[in-house]
Amino acid sequence: MEFEESGIGEECGVFGCLAAGEWPTQLEVAQIITLGLVALQHRGQESAGIVTSNGSSPPTYTTLKGMGLVSTAFKPEDMLKLRYGNLGIGHTRYSTTGMSELQNCQPFVVDTLHGRIAVAHNGELFNAAALRRKVMRHGVGLSTSSDSELITQLLCLTPPMEEVDNPDWVARIKNLMTLTPTSYSLLIMHKDVIYAVRDPYGNRPLCIGRLVPISKLHSSGGGEGDTEGWVVSSESCSFQSIGAKYYCEVRPGEIVQISKHGVKSLNIIPRPEGDPPAFCIFEYVYFARPDSIFEGQMVYTVRQRCGRQLAIEAPTDADVVSTVPESATPAALGYAQESGLPYVEVLCKNRYVGRTFIQPDTRLRQLGVAKKFGALTDNFAGKRVVLVDDSIVRGNTISPIIKLLKEAGATEVHIRVASPPIRFPCYMGINIPTKEELIANRPEFKDLANYLGATSVHYLSVEGLVTAVQSGIEPYENEQISSSSKTSRKLGHCTACLTGKYPIELEW
């Protein structure tokens, strides 16, 4: 919960849709993209955009962008402009680079020598400054401060060995991936195809779903002949609301082509020097919706395992286990299962109070957390409480909650944190407070329980988190779009914000 209060945010969510079969399609491509973006709203709330195309030659592109939530960014009358699209891509934004303004809203559309392209991007380029200089040396001006426009312009550069009149978009994408190995998941729309691209380290997520008739949505089996369209998304949680079945995950370094004829893996770009993959481990901890699937496992299940591991590492004598609503609930349930303690709710959250709540006088400011939570006193009065949270970032949020519970009758409050302490900045698309603001780097951390007013405080270890995440990943994968044979899955996750060990050497 404190991730939310501390302003830690994921950069973006991307979503694309392409109709299968004959065009023009009867599939409501723009509506499907809108619903997909709504399901990804937790990944960004600053702005949203959609670009659709009829896929003809030359194609007609239609763009719709707006500030705020998807529900307010797209007006019904404006959506009518998109209704003739046979394919399209969309984006919902949380900025880590670039100001929060309409000009930085994605997808970006540019004209090239070989036709118009549209690009949507999730992530942050680790070497953006050097790449901006490279683009400008080619005489290209940049109109925004966004990494995503930079990616678009890099795709426009002619790669080595390309013939003037025969554009090779796969070569262009490969050239981009060589210039910047992380961090990005990309949707690139050109003519009648969408390219789904994931960086070689797999730092940001991306997966593909298959749109099927509603009557066959929950049935097993069924071939691709039932396919009404294809969707690609930052998270699989978006598939349920649009009638799509999970098809596969885009692998690290993979370039996938999606057309009305199907899905085809074109290439996999290897990581430099055989490095392990570096999928962001905080997708599991906090950023992703719990019903999403990464690396063949559901996020909710991973969070439960984190709670179980936390109970093994930091047991305590207590009477009940509870959670700070709501993101830490799976971990709290896992802690309760492993410890044998009953799980109860101790806090009731008021969902209609946001961070911008105005506190007009001293008395209301002193009430602090009471505006956001109510204590369910009958569940814990006179008892020792283990309270599980997903984070303690600055320490500003949990302390008033502890005070509230003690004043409401808890005899002890033991804080258990289902992630390790955050100590370092992220340069790959996550907005983290400055190093000095993080409680783990401040003197108070040495006696955190006393500082917060808790009976005890324990974090999950880095090793425990990695174990909880990786223990559920199958050692082999059978990728439908590339090979029928099983290949070894190499494990690896980015823990840089916890350990200071970045997957690649940073460039400034």
Cis peptide before 437 (omega within 30 of 0): no
Q: Is 237 labelled as part of a ligand binding site?
A: no
Q: Is 426 labelled as part of a ligand binding site?
A: yes
Query: Whole-angstrom Cα distance, residue 380 to residue 258?
Result: 54
Non-local CB neighbours of 73 within 8 Å, separated by 6+ positions:
47, 48, 49, 65, 66, 67
- H or E element, residue 473: none
CA-wise closest residue to 323 among 249, 385, 253: 385
DSSP conformation letters of 300-346:
HHHHHHHHHHHHHHS----SEEEESTTTTHHHHHHHHHHHTPPB---
Strand, helix or coil at 264? strand
Q: Is 280 labelled as part of a ligand binding site?
A: yes
Catalytic residues: 12
Query: Residue 22 phi/psi, 5° resolution?
Result: -75, 145
DSSP conformation letters of 44-60:
--SEEEEEEE---SSPP
Percent composition of the chain: helix, strand, coil (DSSP 3-state, to 5) = 30, 25, 45
Q: Is 488 labelled as part of a ligand binding site?
A: no
Non-local CB neighbours of 392 within 8 Å, separated by 6+ positions:
2, 398, 415, 417, 421, 439, 448, 452, 457, 459
- Angle, in degrees to the nearest 10, between helices 299-313 and 329-339: 50
Q: Is 327 labelled as part of a ligand binding site?
A: yes
CA-wise closest residue to 206 among 405, 53, 482, 15: 15
* Amino acid sitting at position 291: D
Q: Is 494 labelled as part of a ligand binding site?
A: yes
**Torsion sign, CA atoms 174, 262, 30, 288:** negative
Q: Is 389 labelled as part of a ligand binding site?
A: yes
Q: How many residues are there in the chain?
A: 508
Q: What is the DSSP letter of 16?
A: E
Residue 369 near residue 376, CB atoms below 8 Å: no
Over its C-alpha atoms, the chain yields an Rg (Å, rounded) of 24
Annotated binding site for Mg(2+), which residues? 327, 389-390
Annotated binding site, which residues? 280, 327, 389-390, 426, 494, 497
Annotated binding site for [4Fe-4S] cluster, which residues? 280, 426, 494, 497
